[in-house]
Structure 1
Amino acid sequence: MFDWTKSCSYDEQQKRRFHTTARSRLKKLAAELHLPAGSYEVRSNKAGIAVSGEVTLHHTAVYIQVGQFGMSSGHGILIRTCKGRKDYTGGANHFVALAMLDDIPALAAAVRAITGIGRDAVHSPDRHAA
């Protein structure tokens, strides 16, 4: 397991591992949400030496950003709706724990609950085939 709470400040190796691991997990999240190829991008901004920077999954309808910006609260994943990939402000901010990157199905469930994205791909047990 990756230690999401180990600070990236002034630690280039930790920051590199943080960004590499977060990018990988966000790509797995996109697959779990059944986001079509080309409907999203995963990008990384390492920012300055004193901060973690952020890794972002930006879909046409959801914006998910990972960083160490909420460490005192344990939250470090921002989830919000958006209207296209040029919308950087989007809907209301919702935060979940960085540790959810270690449980992609649970993180996908949180994204679905907050944004409605990917619900069509989820098969309800009471849904009957036609």
Structure 2
Amino acid sequence: MEIDMFDWKRSCSYDEQQKRRFHTTARSRLKKLAAELALPQGSFDLRSNRAGIAVCGEITLHHDRAYIQVGQFGLSSGHGILIRTCKGRKDYTGGVNHFVALGMLDDIPALAAAVRAITGVARDASCSSERRAA
């Protein structure tokens, strides 16, 4: 799957154009992630909170068993994707927070592997598709 690279580390603060591109691109990548994880339609929500002018806001994929949020909250560390387990789409606190690099949005299969490892989501689906391919 060929994906155009995006400058995830370019700040969205006080830059409306960059913020719009960041949200649009992140939503698109999270949709690709949902497809890569074989999440059934209706089993997840995709939300975008643009927040105020001085911050990036966040884009969230909230599945019945996984909460994945993209933002620029960890720019100094390079981390900007939060992954944790949850118990339904009303659970906003979930399990332990795990962070991975924003750049993983440019490698959806690797991001999906991280989500599977942390949450166990779609592990059965990926195993069955690997068996079919064999």
User: Which band: TM-score by shorter chain?
Assistant: over 0.9
What TM-score, normalized to structure 1? 0.95
Q: CA deviation at 1:127?
A: 5.7
By percentage of residues, which structure has more helix? 2
* Map of 2:70 onto structure 1: 66
**Alignment map for 1:25-36 (pairs within 5 Å):** 25-36=29-40
**Alignment map for 1:87-98 (pairs within 5 Å):** 87-98=91-102
Structure 1 runs not aligned, ≥5 long = none
Q: CA deviation at 1:25?
A: 0.2
User: Does residue 123 of structure 2 align to residue 113 of structure 1?
Assistant: no
Total equivalences in the alignment: 128
Q: CA deviation at 1:123?
A: 2.7
Structure 2 runs not aligned, ≥5 long = none
**Alignment map for 1:71-90 (pairs within 5 Å):** 71-90=75-94
- Distance in structure 2 (CA, Å) of the matches to 1:101 and 1:19: 12
- Distance in structure 2 (CA, Å) of the matches to 1:6 and 1:93: 24
State the secondary structure of the residue aligned to 1:52: coil
Q: CA deviation at 1:122?
A: 1.6
Q: Which aligned runs of 4 or more in structure 1 are off by greater than 3 angstroms?
A: none
- Distance in structure 2 (CA, Å) of the matches to 1:78 and 1:47: 17
* Map of 1:37 onto structure 2: 41
Query: 1:59-103: per-residue Cα shift (whole Å, max 9, x none)?
Result: 000000000000010000000000000000000000000000000
Match of 1:10 among 11, 14, 31: 14
Query: 1:19-65: per-residue Cα shift (whole Å, max 9, x none)?
Result: 00000000000000000100001110000000000000000000000
